Structure 1
Amino acid sequence: MFTGIVQATCEVVAINKKDGLNTLEIAMKSDLREGLITGASVANNGVCLTVTRIADDRVFFDVMEETLSVTNLSNLQLGSKVNIERSLTFGSEIGGHILSGHIHTQARVLEVSHTEAHFDIKLEVDPKWMNYILYKGFVGVNGCSLTVGEVTETSFMLHLIPETLKLTNLDIIKAGETLNIEIDSQTQAIVDTVERVLAKRANI
């Protein structure tokens, strides 16, 4: 489990492509590697991946073909920056909201508006997912726990603060790129439950 509070952006230093999977080598500073062991879970752009090896300042992750097909990890190149969050430990402060590291869909960046006064991103997703993306609700974007701004039938806005931009890779995204989206599980459960109840009542 994760909180959506990104701890660092780390560089992809190698990608070893094999049949059915890619092995990512991510450069991590010593403080982020402290206590990290093989088999541990780490969120990369919001995707829960298992540590397969640790060597010097590099941490290795295997990414299966299915994961590559549904996330933006397939778009990574040498030098790409990924948002990193270690898994939640008992007693840790939860500053964001609970995330599983399982991506529901990808959003396409429609527009980035960056001025001295604001940094806004407009994202487009398949309309079926907009049932769970509510104004002032939570959504996981590239592993970041963020509050939703204005919504339409197919899009939503994000209004990012300087601290978020400093700690994540959202400051370098451009229109046309895709971002990993994880829907808030509690919101999804409530919406699905209400829809089932209303559907039953309509059939009575």
Structure 2
Amino acid sequence: MPLHYLALGDSYTIGEAVPAAGRWPAQLAERLRARGVAIDEPQIVATTGWTTDELSAAMDAASFSPRYDLVTLLIGVNNQYRGRGADEYRHEFTGLLQRAIGLAGDRASRVVVVSIPDWGVTRFAREQGRDPAQIAHALDTYNAIARDEAARAGARWVDITPISRRHPELVADDGLHPSAAQYTLWTEAIEPAAAAAVK
């Protein structure tokens, strides 16, 4: 039987403004199959604009088929965009992480948490007159929380934020969301953790 993969998130997971095959969860599944891992296409629960509480509400309404052999979680950029506090993010992120672990059959090592990329380096942020240093500081705070909670729970952590900062030119036509080429770089970083998770 093929392994089952669940991807939880927001615009970065659904791949806003890129073809379906360019989404990083789809690229990740393809790379795992190239390694000889029999894995289904990912079930994606993600929508552009979702915050942590909106993802949680969507999970309440979603139909799941646990247990999943791989679960990825990338969420929080819209919390930062809306100016929500770090304490609220920690509380809601921790709840999502525990739900992700439960959907993985209580196997925390099957859960891969992916850091939030830095949208402050994009053309969209410049055109909106946003302060890139303030965005970077807020996202670093959120990512430190996600990293710490992942470690505490025994989940895996992959930091793709430096990739987003090194490649601000790799964006889709909207000037904000990553291009498929940037998602490929993310996938290369995520693949080792995902492969270890399903080994």
With normalisation by structure 2, the TM-score equals 0.24
TM-score, normalised relative to structure 1: 0.23
Q: Compare the two structures and name the one with the higher helix fraction.
A: 2
Q: Which has the larger radius of gyration?
A: 1
More strand by share: 1
